[in-house]
Chains A and B, each alone.
Chain A
Amino acid sequence: MFDIEQYYEAKSVEDAVRLLSEHEDAEIISGGTDVLVKLREGKGAGGTLVSIHEIPSLHGVRCLPGGTLEIGPATCFTDITNHPLIRRYVPYLGEAVDTVGGPQVRNQGTIGGNVCNGATSADSAATLQTLNAVVVLQGTGGVRRVPVTEFYTGPGRTVRRHDEVCRAIEIAPEDYVGFTGSYMKYGKRAAMEIATLGCCVRVKLDEAGETILDARIGYGVAAPTPIRCRNTEGALAGRRVDDPGIYELIGTGVLDEVNPRSSWRASKEFRLQLISELARRALREAVDRSLNHEAPKTACSDEERR
């Protein structure tokens, strides 16, 4: 038995918003792989849960008119990795969430929970930062769209208000068309591990495959919240991909833009080393993938809408 005082199964997002506004102590539960573990440890014991587990509209990946990818927040990691739209347009996001926990956890854990619990170590975080993903929140005050780059306010804290439910995560076509990417996770073992550090680098090259038009660098665990490294991104734009100097540039540039700490998982010094090395490796893989013509040339289309 979990130590819950009250439990509500929301039938719709509106229903969940109403339940949250009626119960000040209520917490949202979706996949349960974080909330129920915390309850086992006694955190949040005796509280109220509002479940959004059984709301069909929160599941799945869709293509919206105009080519925006819409990810349902209650979509589990396995379904994201395997979804045809994800594999075709943002495969590196599917790879990133495929590093969460183990298979059974990925079958239950959701991307909305990964974002909304505010953890800097979330495996989707670095990649969503580089995608300029938009978190769509619905509350008693209506719907608002918050860029994920402005979503976090501190460790475990976000701008989401108590009565707001994440309704969708959106990725605009200008943030994925023409891009390749790579997510590199460091953990002490290959599975069942929270990231010591996570790094996503994405690039868009010119048509000839010679010059970087746009570079995006995102990190998890390199600061109290997931972050972007915009100065280094700017310095990479316009550089030739056959110039070995780009790897030196990214490896040293990012060090001025991060703020890692020491924890029992790793020291600050080790994290700084990872921050440089993973960026170099992720950039190399992203460039290789681009030269291998893996970047999507167009946005998702109406035919793929479901």
Chain B
Amino acid sequence: MLKIIHMWVNGREVELAVDPRESLLETLREKLNLTSVKKGCGVGECGACTVLIDGIATDVCLYLTMWADGKHILTTEGLKSPTGELNPIQQAFIDEAAVQCGFCTPGLIMTAVEIVGSGRKYTREELRKQIAGHLCRCTGYENILNAMEKLAGC
């Protein structure tokens, strides 16, 4: 049985008929074509599907779309400016070569958006803890931390 929900995705109001069995990961990828949201482990361990829900970093593989009714969703597709420029966090990831295969990158960028948006400054150790919910098998994390430190480091 389908249910109608309303949510705001990357600033745009969306009305959708969703199956109560759907994860928000499936809805974002398959119905809204937001393929920056990656399906990794599917059980909340790798962080590849991280998006912001009302500003909070969430693994959407473990989030029912029903719960997104009335909420604001932000994915990396929603980060670029109206004139097409990259968000400073995306630019920092490029400048610090924090990307190799790229699979973990959108999720990590969304966590970075949450961290930078908090307005406070973090030590490198605190940043390590903040990205503990993301697996990156290429970079060894150092360049990712360098990129985050540029914008949110002490």
- Chain B residues numbered 13-55 whose CB sits less than 8 Å from any CB in chain A: 19-23, 26, 42-45, 47, 50
- A18-26, A101-109, A276-284 - interface stretch: A101-109
Residue in A1, A36, A51, A78 whose Cβ sees the most chain B Cβ within 10 Å: A36
Bound-complex Cα distance A51 to B66 (A): 10
Number of interface residues of B (CB under 8 A): 28
Is A7 a contact partner of B47 (Cβ separation < 8 A)?
no
Is B133 a contact partner of A192 (Cβ separation < 8 A)?
yes
Knowing A1-B22, A105-B59, say if A53 contacts B67 (CB, 8 Å): yes
Q: Does B130 contact A (CB under 8 A)?
A: yes
Is A104 a contact partner of B26 (Cβ separation < 8 A)?
no
Knowing A3-B21, A4-B20, A108-B58, say if A33 contacts B44 (CB, 8 Å): yes
Q: Does A40 contact B (CB under 8 A)?
A: yes
Residue of A nearest to B70 (CB): A54
Q: Does A175 contact B (CB under 8 A)?
A: no
Is A54 a contact partner of B67 (Cβ separation < 8 A)?
yes
Q: Does A264 contact B (CB under 8 A)?
A: no
Which A-B residue pairs are the 8 nearest by beta carbons? Answer: A102-B133, A191-B132, A7-B20, A104-B133, A102-B132, A104-B59, A1-B21, A37-B43
- A51-B67, A103-B130, A104-B111 are known; give 13 further A-B pairs, CB within 8 A: A2-B64, A37-B43, A37-B62, A53-B64, A53-B67, A102-B134, A103-B131, A103-B132, A104-B133, A105-B44, A107-B56, A108-B58, A108-B62
Q: Does A190 contact B (CB under 8 A)?
A: yes
- Chain A residues numbered 32-67 whose CB sits less than 8 Å from any CB in chain B: 32-33, 36-37, 40, 51, 53-54
Bound-complex Cα distance A191 to B131 (A): 10
Bound-complex Cα distance A11 to B44 (A): 26
Bound-complex Cα distance A7 to B18 (A): 12
Knowing A40-B43, A104-B50, say if A32 contacts B133 (CB, 8 Å): no
- Chain A residues numbered 116-163 whose CB sits less than 8 Å from any CB in chain B: none
Is B66 a contact partner of A33 (Cβ separation < 8 A)?
no
Min CB gap A252→B, angstroms? 34
Residue in A2, A4, A78 whose Cβ sees the most chain B Cβ within 10 Å: A2
Bound-complex Cα distance A4 to B23 (A): 12
Q: Does A9 contact B (CB under 8 A)?
A: yes
| A residues in contact with B133, CB < 8 Å | 101-105, 191-192
Is A2 a contact partner of B44 (Cβ separation < 8 A)?
no
Other-chain contact of B21, A2, A33, A108 (Cβ < 8 Å) = A2
Is A191 a contact partner of B129 (Cβ separation < 8 A)?
yes
Residue of A nearest to B69 (CB): A54
Other-chain contact of A107, B26, B57, B64, B66 (Cβ < 8 Å) = B57
Min CB gap B106→A, angstroms? 13
| B residues in contact with A102, CB < 8 Å | 45, 47, 132-134
Min CB gap A48→B, angstroms? 11
Is B19 a contact partner of A1 (Cβ separation < 8 A)?
yes
Bound-complex Cα distance A51 to B57 (A): 21
Q: Does B122 contact A (CB under 8 A)?
A: no
| B residues in contact with A36, CB < 8 Å | 23, 62, 64
Is B62 a contact partner of A33 (Cβ separation < 8 A)?
yes
- Chain A residues numbered 163-220 whose CB sits less than 8 Å from any CB in chain B: 190-192
| B residues in contact with A9, CB < 8 Å | 66
Min CB gap A218→B, angstroms? 25
Could you list 8 examples of A-B contacts with CB < 8 Å?
Answer: A1-B26, A3-B21, A51-B64, A103-B133, A104-B47, A107-B57, A108-B59, A191-B132
Min CB gap B44→A, angstroms? 5
Min CB gap A268→B, angstroms? 27
Q: Does B63 contact A (CB under 8 A)?
A: yes
Bound-complex Cα distance A32 to B63 (A): 7
Min CB gap A82→B, angstroms? 11
Is B62 a contact partner of A32 (Cβ separation < 8 A)?
yes
Bound-complex Cα distance A175 to B43 (A): 36
